[in-house]
Amino acid sequence: MLTVTDRAKQELRGIVSRRIRKPGISLRLVRSAPAHFGLVPDVEKKGDHVVTHEGASVLLIGKGLSGLLGGVTIDCRETPDGAQLVLSRRA
């Protein structure tokens, strides 16, 4: 099961509110290479795993990708360049 920390949900909510500003649009987690992931604006699709924060959809994960992310945690860490979302697999 995928876990998204509260801190990551807050950061995702901030990205959605600052950059998208369109009703019904959220961020979708996509895999761009075997070990690389990104976020793109998108609408919810049938079968998506939807992560919400304070009643708003903040992250969409397609059914196929959701199955690959079992045991993964998405967190937010501060870096010298600002907040960064990090995926890590629990041991």
pLDDT given for residue 41 in this prediction: 96
pLDDT digits (tens, 9 = 90+) for 20-69: 878 889 999 999 887 789 999 999 999 999 999 999 999 999 988 888 88
Q: Is the CATH number of domain 3-89 3.40.50.300?
A: no
pLDDT digits (tens, 9 = 90+) for 64-91: 888 888 889 999 999 999 889 999 987 5
Q: Which is more confidently placed, 6 or 33?
A: 6
- Note whether 76 and 11 are within 8 A (CB): yes
Domain boundaries, the chain: 3-89
Tokens of 33: 């290479």
Which CB contacts under 8 angstroms, 24+ apart, belong to 6-9? 6/53, 7/75, 7/76, 8/74, 8/75, 8/76, 8/85, 9/51, 9/52, 9/53, 9/58, 9/59
